[in-house]
Structure 1
Amino acid sequence: MENTIIEHMHAIVDEHIDAKDLNKLIKLFIQEKSQEKSPWSTITRCTHFMLGGNSPQIDRIAAATELIMLVQDIVDDLQDQDQENKPWMQCEPAYTLNAVLAFLISFFGELELLQGNHTRRLNKEISKIISRSINGQQKDISNSIETVDDYLIMVQEKSGSIIRLACYMGYASLDVSPQTIEHIDALADYAGLIHQIQNDMNDLNEIDNKSDLFLKKCTLPILYLLESEDTSFPLLKPFYQGRIRLDELIENKEAWLTYIDKSGCIEYSKIVQSICITKAEEIYEELLAIAPWKEKFRDSTYGSFV
């Protein structure tokens, strides 16, 4: 994350949070986040410039994007109870919750300062995007996914909406055609699917960590395995049915890794992912946007998979 973005994030926090201990804690969270290769501010800026924007406030807007995305990361970790090394997982839960509220207030307060007459429309659209993501997140954590179609809808809502929000922060103040918005929303949803499917495949090897398997989530490769007639690894279905414990799976980790390698679930997931990449490329070619920012937008969303 660029120093300019971090400085703006600190400035936003300073304007809204006076309590010294909370201010310090929030900046610790920001510092932790800054160590990652976060794409969100880049997506906001690229969207803005590729659609003809030239706002002198765009770095500040991009910093606000990073703030709301950090909230999403924190909440996700709290729900899954993983990432135990993160500072928001190590401090008192009440402090973390207060930090989340502070982030939200700072984010929405910043919109008032940045968008002026657009604030009412802006708040409504952002609320719709965030609500869509929450709906997807709820479907994910409640383990209500039963079919591939359920999964695809959930990921678009949960992950696609996050990318939609980063894009919206870039074009909210611009006069953008409905067709362009439709293209950007579709690209965001496909990018969310592409990344989530990759995460799902990677997570198959993490059987002894707090992974999706640990939480009994029905990811794309897991759905394939649950539908399979292959009985060479008979523990998976009983585990998802609650008839055996996770430690019994962990004891058979080598057999599990051999099973997923031969089962076809990775190949199946890669095929679905490749279809998403193809669809994204088709929409990208139709998107009317300014170079080189259009290319940079693609790089920051799904370009590493092309």
Structure 2
Amino acid sequence: MNHVVSNVKQVLVALLNNEKEIDDDFRSMILSFIKEKGDDTLPFAELCILHYETFTSDFDEEILKIAAAIELLVLSFDIIDDIQDGDSSHSWATSPALGINSALAMLIVSSKIIRESSLTHSNLAGRILEKYALQSIDGQQRDLLNLAVDESSYLRMIERKSGSLTAMSCLIGVVLATGRSSAHVERYGRYIGVIHQLKNDISDLKSWGRKNDILNRKFSLPVIFLLALEDELSIHIRRYYEKEESTTLDRDQVHQALTESGAIRYALFFIHNYQRKAEQTMKDIPLPEKIKSKLLSIMK
């Protein structure tokens, strides 16, 4: 879908260039943020278009605008998340006041794009966007409070924070094509978001920088597993989380513990479990093999 990604990017730039309620300097900043994000893929746009193509026999290129709106919404959430977490070197994080204002504008523009769409079921798509965006914000609130300190509460949190956005993208494609929602699509769409969040959690722990959850005293499944152990290093890390001033961490020891304790394998187990559940859910509805194959590749 590389051509689709390119088309969505072009449509997004055109939509922002045509937005008359923001001045040129502000528009240039927002466009620079989109360019800085620099993704070669637009996963949320791809999920939306993939499901729209699957469930309609009458493709309307207006869907590219909706897909662009979804990516704009998600970028606004990314900007706010980076500013709240303080773990990013992106320009919007170094100028947080301007970053927040840009994110607010992106939110409004994304909603406006869908509301003004000529597609028959755009009103329903707008309601889905609002519902699942609020769920994601609720998940982010739980994450910021850092209260997801056990397996079940952490999984519930990322199902809301991350899973809601992928579920939203899939569902919007379906409802624009059919006028109806789908519980099965919602379910596997949410699982896709959880899978990618768990992969990001593991990846962030491999670095020893601003995004490392242990250094930031945040929780993820590998961290929760490690903190539950009673060995010397786990006790030492718990003291660090409790902010005992004399406690420092050794990078090599922590990385070794994450690997040898089974903490990473523990997180991988849940990734495989969610992949299995998503695949099973796909079997429960009549999806063409082409989309099944694509979705399975997205989850790998």
What TM-score comes out, normalization by structure 2 length?
0.90
Pairwise CA distance, 1:245: 6.3
2:49 paired with 1:45? yes
Pairwise CA distance, 1:171: 2.1
1:237-282: CA deviation from partner (whole Å, max 9, x where unpaired): 1011222467x11xx1122222222111112111222111111111
Assess, with a 3 A threshold, how the Cα gap between structure 1 residues 244 and 204 changes in structure 2: closer, same or farther. farther
Structure 1, unpaired ranges of 5+:
none
Pairwise CA distance, 1:294: 4.1
Which amino acid in 2 is paired with 1:162?
Answer: L
Hey, what's the Cα distance between the residues in 1 that align with 2:112 and 2:12?
13
* Greater displacement, 282-291 / 189-198: 282-291
The within-5 A match list for 1:6-45 is: 6-16=9-19, 17-45=21-49
Hey, what's the Cα distance between the residues in 2 that align with 1:232 and 1:60?
51
1:67-96: CA deviation from partner (whole Å, max 9, x where unpaired): 111111111111111221x23223x33322
The within-5 A match list for 1:110-125 is: 110-115=113-118, 118-125=121-128
Hey, what's the Cα distance between the residues in 1 that align with 2:52 and 2:100?
32
Assess, with a 3 A threshold, how the Cα gap between structure 1 residues 232 and 186 changes in structure 2: closer, same or farther. same
Hey, what's the Cα distance between the residues in 1 that align with 2:208 and 2:38?
29
Assess, with a 3 A threshold, how the Cα gap between structure 1 residues 115 and 297 changes in structure 2: closer, same or farther. farther
| Structure 2 partner of 1:292 | 290
What TM-score comes out, normalization by structure 1 length?
0.88
Percent of aligned positions that are identical: 27
Q: Is the 1:122–1:172 contact (alpha carbons within 8 Å) kept by the matching residues of 2?
A: yes
Q: Is the 2:128–2:172 contact (alpha carbons within 8 Å) kept by the matching residues of 1?
A: no
The within-5 A match list for 1:159-198 is: 159-175=162-178, 181-198=182-199
**Which of 107, 130, 134 matches 2:137?**
134
Which amino acid in 2 is paired with 1:256?
Answer: V
Structure 2, unpaired ranges of 5+:
none
Q: Is the 1:52–1:290 contact (alpha carbons within 8 Å) kept by the matching residues of 2?
A: no
**Count of aligned residue pairs for this structure pair:** 295
What is the RMSD computed on CA atoms of the aligned residues? 2.1
1:209-229: CA deviation from partner (whole Å, max 9, x where unpaired): 332223221110111111112
| Structure 2 partner of 1:223 | 224
* Greater displacement, 131-140 / 99-108: 99-108
Assess, with a 3 A threshold, how the Cα gap between structure 1 residues 57 and 159 changes in structure 2: closer, same or farther. same
Q: Is the 2:163–2:193 contact (alpha carbons within 8 Å) kept by the matching residues of 1?
A: yes
Q: Is the 2:168–2:186 contact (alpha carbons within 8 Å) kept by the matching residues of 1?
A: no
2:6 paired with 1:3? yes
Hey, what's the Cα distance between the residues in 2 that align with 1:293 and 1:274?
20
Which amino acid in 1 is paired with 2:166?
Answer: I
Q: Is the 1:62–1:169 contact (alpha carbons within 8 Å) kept by the matching residues of 2?
A: no
Pairwise CA distance, 1:177: 5.3
Hey, what's the Cα distance between the residues in 2 that align with 1:290 and 1:233?
48
| Structure 1 partner of 2:105 | 102
